[in-house]
Amino acid sequence: MEHDQTAFFSASRFSEGEAVSVKDRLAEEVPIALEYNGLSHAVMLATPGDLEDFALGFSLTEGIIADPAEWYGCEIWQLQDGIRIAVEIASERFHGLKERRRNLTGRTGCGICGAESLQHAVRQPGDVSGVTASFTSEALHDGFAQMEAQQQLRKQTGATHAAAWMEESGKVTLLREDVGRHNALDKLIGAMAGNRIMPSGAALVTSRASYEMVQKCTFAGIGILAAVSGPTALAVRMAERSGLTLAGFVRRSGYTVYTRPERIR
C-alpha cells in the first residue's frame, strides 16, 4: 500500500516586502502505531513511506528482535487517525517483549528512577570493534554529495532528514528519508536487513549524531557513522565503548573524527 508522503497547502510567500500566493509542498507526518503479535507497543510520528523498512529497522535497533529471521512479516492498515503496522515476530522474542513491558509497569511517574530504569533508558551498544571497512576522506565527501543528490523529499519539501548507506566501493546504494532523523536511520537499517545487505560500509546522516543513532548502528553491525552536524558527549562515549568510528561536522571544508579515526584515511 502506497501512502502520500507530501501534501500541498496554500501559503503566502514574502520576499523583499512583496507577498505572493503559492502552493507549497509539505512533508507528511502521521501517527504510526506498531503492534507485535497483536500487542500494542508504540506510536511514532513519521513520514508514511517505506513503512515495512521502518517497522523492521525499529524492531532490530530497539532489540525487539535480534535477527531478521525472527521477523515473520507485517500488515499495514490505513486508519482514520493514522497508520497501524501489525508485525508478527518469533514467539520467543514476543515473550521477551511482554516481559520487558511487565517490568516497566507500575513505575513511579518521576521519569527515570533507579538503576533498573536507567538500564532500560540507555542500553549497552553492540560491539563493532572488529569492523574492517575504511574510507578515504575524499570518498567520505563524495558519499555526502551522492546522498544530497538523492534526497527527493528534501528537494520537494525542505523538511526531511536522510540516512544513506555507502558501500566500501564509495557508492551510496540505499537512502531513506523521514521528518525524524531516527526514523530515517531505522528505515535504512530495515531496508538493509530486508535486502540482506552486509553492513560493511558507512551510514551517513543529515543530522546530529545522538547516542540513540550510535546505538542503532551498533545493533545493526555498522562500524562507521558520519553526520553532517555534531555528536553529543554521550554519543561519543558510547561510540568509544562499542568500537564505532564516529565522524561529525562533515562538510566540504572538512570533518571531525571523535573515535576510531583509523577507518577514515
Residues 143 and 73 in one domain: no
Residues 111 and 144 in one domain: no
Distance, C-alpha 176 to centroid of its chain: 9
pLDDT at 141: 97
Report the domain count for the chain.
Answer: 2
> Which domain CATH number covers 64?
3.10.20.10
What's the mean pLDDT in 35-53? 97
Nearest to 51 by CA among 193, 190, 192: 190
pTM: 0.92
Host domain of residue 101 = 31-121
pLDDT of 239 > 60? The answer is: yes
Across the strands, what pairs with 26?
A: 7
Residues 115 and 142 in one domain: no
For residue 61, what is its C-alpha cell? Answer: 535497533
Burial class (CB in 10 A: 0-12, 13-18, 19+), 246: buried
Q: Which of 74, 110, 113, 217 is catalytic?
A: 110
Q: Known catalytic residue: 110? A: yes
Residues 44 and 141 in one domain: no
pLDDT of 120 > 80? The answer is: no
Q: For the segment 65-77, what is each residue's pLDDT rounded down to a tens digit?
A: 999 999 999 999 9
Position 82 in a domain = yes
**Dihedral (CA of 147, 152, 158, 162) sign:** negative
> Which domain CATH number covers 211?
3.40.140.10
Q: Who wins on pLDDT, 23 or 103?
A: 23
Position 182 in a domain = yes
pLDDT at 113: 43
Residues 189 and 115 in one domain: no
Position 9 in a domain = no
Position 207 in a domain = yes
